[in-house]
Amino acid sequence: MTGFALLGACAANDAATADASAAAAPDARAPLYTASGTAAGEGRIVETASGLKLTVTAQGIPAGIHGIHVHTTGKCEAPDFQTAGGHWNPTARQHGHDNPQGAHSGDLPNITIGADGTGSLTIDLSGAKLSGEGGLLDADGAALVIHATADDMKTDPSGNSGGRIACGVFAG
């Protein structure tokens, strides 16, 4: 009987581990690339009870503070990544967390890149969803874009964050 109890406990533990792994797995990933095609990190989105959780890891980006946004179209054509379209904005608001009429769903805090070219950002996007009306992964997808300079958090439509220096398409 002890062997069966131990086996049952191991099976329950394995099931709990599998459930935890599935919960932590990203629902969408966006590998980031520079205009030259060099890998520049990744964005990962996980659906949560309150919305979406976005985690970004960046590498090979110039040191400093950079605007970063979720864009409406899942297309990243070099050299300027303009094919990613504007910011994801299913609620039809203005740009920026400091704008009284903002913010777009795709407006994110700036990301700080260290002297070694790396940086990270994690943010909860409350009320956002991956699919359905206003969802991130609609018919033409979505992209994650890192800009050349800091976002001023108020100027519509892009926060004066400069050119697009890295881009990644979200895929589920």
pLDDT digits (tens, 9 = 90+) for 70-121: 999 999 999 999 999 988 888 878 777 888 877 777 789 999 999 999 999 9
Q: Which domains does the chain have, with CATH numbers?
A: 26-169 (2.60.40.200)
For residue 6, the surrounding DSSP H or E stretch is: helix 2-24
Buried b (16+ CB within 10 A) or exposed e, 90-114: beebbbbeebeebbbbbbbebbebe
Name which residue leads in pLDDT, 104 or 125.
Answer: 125
Neighbours of 25 (CB within 10 A): 10
Query: Of the candidates 100, 47, 40, 46, which has an alpha carbon nearest to the alpha carbon of residue 68?
Result: 40
Question: Is pLDDT of 1 > 90?
Answer: no
Which tens digits make up the pLDDT trace of 4-42? 333 333 344 444 444 443 444 559 999 999 999 999 999
Prediction pTM value: 0.83
- State the Cα–Cα distance between residues 120 and 112, nearest whole angstrom: 7
CB count in 10 Å sphere of residue 35: 17
